[in-house]
Amino acid sequence: MDDKETLRVGAAVRRQRRSLGLTLAAVATRSGLSVPFLSQIENERARPSARSLDRVADALETTTERLRAAADSARAVDVVRGTPQDGDGVRRVVRGRHQLSALEFTGELDLGREFQHRNDEVLYVAEGAAEVEAEGQAYRLERGDTLFLSGGVRHRWRATAPGTRLLFVAVAEHIDATFDPRR
């Protein structure tokens, strides 16, 4: 792991600790590391050794590999070039494991199936036209139109014009963005 990669692990450590509802003191007790050192790791002011990162990962009920993978998603900038899609007309607009997922669909696609996602999603028609069925109602969308679907809404869609380009942006499936009024 290079220096930049090591520094980004701090944000992943903080996210994992918070997702478990642990304090720095609890992680310190579990890992045998000091609270100040853990704070420095989270704030990216200290670079943990491989052994220290193993101890932190164990304390956070995960692995160093998962922390490193989560650290990859902490990059602030990533350019995805508008290269041609695979033969199936689908292109990932955001790479890696982030809080958002984005896909571009090009062509006269009719996937012929219903979708239901855990989190919110937005469909934007960049070119052409599409028909979306959601909650038992059909929506005809044209260039520039946007459709919002809250998490859990069953829907299906199809492009209805040649050269249609649709952009889907959603809260990633691994993120629990559901609202719990008890929190």
Residue range 3-31, pLDDT digits in tens: 444 447 888 899 899 999 999 999 999 99
Those residues whose C-beta lies under 8 Å from the C-beta of residue 82, and which sit 6 or more positions away, are: none
Q: Which residues pair with 103 in a beta bridge?
A: 92, 168
pLDDT at 75 over 70: no
Contact residues for 71 (Cβ-Cβ < 8 A; gap 6+): 5, 8, 9, 11, 12
Helix (H) or strand (E) holding 22: none
Q: For residue 174, what are the CA distances in angstroms to 99, 157, 178, 181?
A: 8, 23, 11, 20
Residue of 88 and 115 predicted with greater confidence:
115
The stretch 163-172 carries a mean pLDDT of: 89
Q: How many residues are there in the chain?
A: 183
- Residue 171: in which H helix or E strand, if any? strand 165-171
